[in-house]
Amino acid sequence: MKIVEVIFDIPIERSFQYLALDNINNFVRVCAPLGEKDRIGFVIETKEMKEKKTEFKWIKKVYDTQPLITDEIFKLSKIISRKYYTSIGQIIFYIIGNFPYKYEKNFQREKKEKSNFLFQNFKKEIFLFDNKEEKNKFYFQLISKTDGSLIFIFPEISILEDFYNQVIKKTDKRVLKYYGEIKKKERLNNYLETLNRSNLVILGTRISIFLPLSDLNLVVIDSYVEPSYREKKQPKYDSIEVAEERCKLRNIPMVLTSYSISVKEYFETKNKKAFLFDKRNFEKIPEILIIDKKWEEMDKKLDFLTKLSSSLIEETILKGNKVGIIHNRKGSAKTFKCENCGHVLRCKICNSYLVLIEKNKLICKYCKVVEDSEKKCSKCGSKKIIERIVGIEKIYTLLKNTYPDFKIQKITAEERKIEKDIDIFVGTNLMKNIVDKFNFGLIIFPHADSFLNIPEYNSEEIFFLIINEFIWRLQNKNSKIIIQTKNPNFEIFLSLKNKNFELFYENEIKTRETVDYPPFSEIILIEVPIKKSRTFEEKIKILNDIIRKSFSETLFYDRVKDKKGKEKIKIVLKVKEKNRPVFEEVMGLREKLDFKIEVNPLVF
């Protein structure tokens, strides 16, 4: 008879003790009573019972005959638990949660020989490529040179499938696909194969970083700057950070690839914490035009375009090339800029420009200071201070009416199927996925400011990375990129115009250091659904005490309504890693108070 420690898929960081028969293993699923119901749990420890304790309840059923994870994955789960303020139970069940309970249990574990490591130390390497062919060739070299197993993580299943069709012809190693959307049985079979076999090539999405490979020697993350590497549901982790933690655990390298480098990794390369290998050919960069959206320069029929942009559209199509017009559907915030004198309202604390978040309300995306909007320009007195922004649907309609003989199509998350012989594509930055499939001669960003005018500190970085995707994916060396803006002298536009990308990174790092934003600090978002009770207010006081003791800076603390109109307390903290709220105190409070917590969220 044994006493077993069991965790559950709940946001509480604690285990529960039960009685079980002697043949039970660690890291298996069980059915056990929890409260008034039976629930699926996961055994994390077993020990011999020295004396009979009748107060313990019995495990009702055991589903697995062998452990489903390794000690390494359990250690990784504990690290991730503390990093993201989530329970180990939530992480474990995220990894194995939808596996079927009935499956073939008798499989033979492969005898593994001691691996001869090609790579022996952890290091973080970033490789920048300007075309997919060279990148794939690099991947094939990694597969042939690496002894043991590799994990390749991709941002989209379509990219994964495309690479799978190529790699199975290039290697004798067993290649497995692993992502959440494959059928449960196939997913479990592939998972068990990684648990019992060696010398594998894994092609997966973010979930694959948790596969229990015992001979893992290298992790490669493709297009690592993509936002899809951030898990949106609990546990809300960053795949890049989890991969780094796992590689450090195993003392193996990780390779990140992209068309451009993020601000965080740029900062790390400057501090010798990461190593950059830039394989891009800067001579192939297309011409980048930064166009000032002056009133007198705007086209009268297509009023979202300048006269130059309109003329280049017609010229490009007559040459047989395609045109792409990219707009940010979600960038509905507007800057307050005077049409008369060009004055832009700026934050009184950090001098960053303010953006409109709701009627008559302006916010600083760094300080989160909210101010009332002014009715007129404080510099010249003009009342023409709000920019008119049109959406994708309006752009599409205007183009259709103006160019009835041109074939025009929208490209959005809802409309991805490509029709034949299209002249003009209109859509979001998802258009980047087709740029290298067609002969684009012209790419236009008609409202570049709408990408910047979202109330997030990293909006300029996001736009810069988007622009770089188009720069390096364009196949036509004579193509042009037009960026229309009312702020042509912003550093980001000067950097692009002069093809001096270092200028952007250095200015962005300097700004973030001044206002103490990531990578110089962390952002923590806490959201608490409001309940009307005395005990609720008492628990909020406990939460406030935990925050106060952490020496964090509170950027935002207020009652807000969600999309369904329900009230919640929203708290945004800026904190140094060493001064984070204490994990045990936060998780202890979660047993009494329902709240969500997210570290370095994409949007807050």
Please report whether residue 210 resides in a domain.
yes
Same domain for 130 and 75, yes or no, is no
What confidence category does residue 331 fall into, taking pLDDT thresholds of 50, 70 and 90?
Answer: very low
Same domain for 27 and 150, yes or no, is no
Query: What b/e sequence results for 155-192 when a residue is b if at least 16 CB atoms lie within 10 Å of its CB, and e otherwise?
Result: bebebbeebbeebeeeeebebbbbbeeeeeeebbebbb
Question: Which has more pLDDT, 368 or 85?
Answer: 85
Length of the chain: 604
CA distances from 496 to 80, 289, 543 (A): 37, 9, 45
Q: Which helix (H) or strand (E) holds 300?
A: none
CA distances from 112 to 66, 215, 359 (A): 17, 9, 65
What confidence category does residue 185 fall into, taking pLDDT thresholds of 50, 70 and 90?
Answer: confident
Same domain for 405 and 546, yes or no, is no
CA distances from 123 to 36, 242, 489 (A): 49, 14, 38
CA distances from 595 to 237, 489, 543, 569 (A): 17, 43, 10, 9
Question: For the chain, how many structural domains are there in total?
Answer: 4
Q: What is the pLDDT of residues 539-593, one digit of tens each?
A: 999 999 999 999 899 999 999 988 788 999 999 999 998 999 999 999 999 989 9
Q: Which position has the token pair 């003790």?
A: 17
Sheet holding 567-575, edge to edge: 553-561, 567-575, 522-529, 596-599
Q: Is the pLDDT of residue 105 over 70?
A: no
Q: Is the pLDDT of residue 117 over 50?
A: no
pLDDT reported for residue 62: 96
pLDDT reported for residue 379: 75
What's 463's domain CATH number? 3.40.50.300
Q: Which helix (H) or strand (E) holds 1?
A: none
Q: What is the pLDDT of residues 391-410, one digit of tens each?
A: 788 899 999 999 999 999 99
Q: Which of 66-75, 173-182, 375-384, 431-440 has the lowest mean pLDDT?
A: 375-384
User: Which residues form the domain of 474?
Assistant: 284-332+389-513
Q: Is the pLDDT of residue 118 over 70?
A: no
pLDDT reported for residue 390: 65
pLDDT reported for residue 314: 94
pLDDT reported for residue 115: 45
Q: Is the pLDDT of residue 386 over 60?
A: no
> Per the structure block, which two tokens stand in for 369?
């200071």
pLDDT reported for residue 192: 94
Same domain for 272 and 185, yes or no, is yes
Please report whether residue 63 resides in a domain.
yes
Please report whether residue 266 resides in a domain.
yes
The percent of residues in the chain predicted with pLDDT above 90, rounded, is 72
pLDDT reported for residue 336: 61
Helices (H), 319-408: 392-402
Cα separation, 238 vs 240, in Å, equals 6
Mean of pLDDT over the chain: 90
Same domain for 29 and 47, yes or no, is yes
Cα separation, 595 vs 569, in Å, equals 9
CA distances from 252 to 124, 147, 255, 265 (A): 9, 12, 10, 18
Q: What is the pLDDT of residues 128-165, one digit of tens each?
A: 999 999 999 999 999 999 999 999 999 999 999 999 99
Same domain for 289 and 251, yes or no, is no
What confidence category does residue 333 fall into, taking pLDDT thresholds of 50, 70 and 90?
Answer: very low
Q: What is the pLDDT of residues 61-90, one digit of tens each?
A: 999 999 999 999 999 999 999 999 999 999
CB 262 within 8 A of CB 455: no
Please report whether residue 316 resides in a domain.
yes
Q: Is the pLDDT of residue 116 over 50?
A: no
Q: What is the mean pLDDT of residues 44-54?
A: 81
Sheet holding 275-278, edge to edge: 174-178, 200-204, 149-153, 216-221, 254-258, 124-128, 275-278
* DSSP calls for 387-400: -----HHHHHHHHH
Point out which residues pair with 151 in neighbouring strands.
Answer: 202, 219
> Per the structure block, which two tokens stand in for 375?
């009715």
Same domain for 465 and 483, yes or no, is yes
Same domain for 166 and 297, yes or no, is no
Same domain for 548 and 562, yes or no, is yes
Please report whether residue 604 resides in a domain.
no
> Per the structure block, which two tokens stand in for 382?
């003009």
Same domain for 398 and 504, yes or no, is yes
Q: What is the mean pLDDT of residues 33-49?
A: 94
Handedness of CA 245, 251, 257, 262 (dihedral sign): positive
Question: Which has more pLDDT, 477 or 167?
Answer: 167
CB 515 within 8 A of CB 542: no
The percent of residues in the chain predicted with pLDDT above 70, rounded, is 90
Cα separation, 64 vs 101, in Å, equals 8
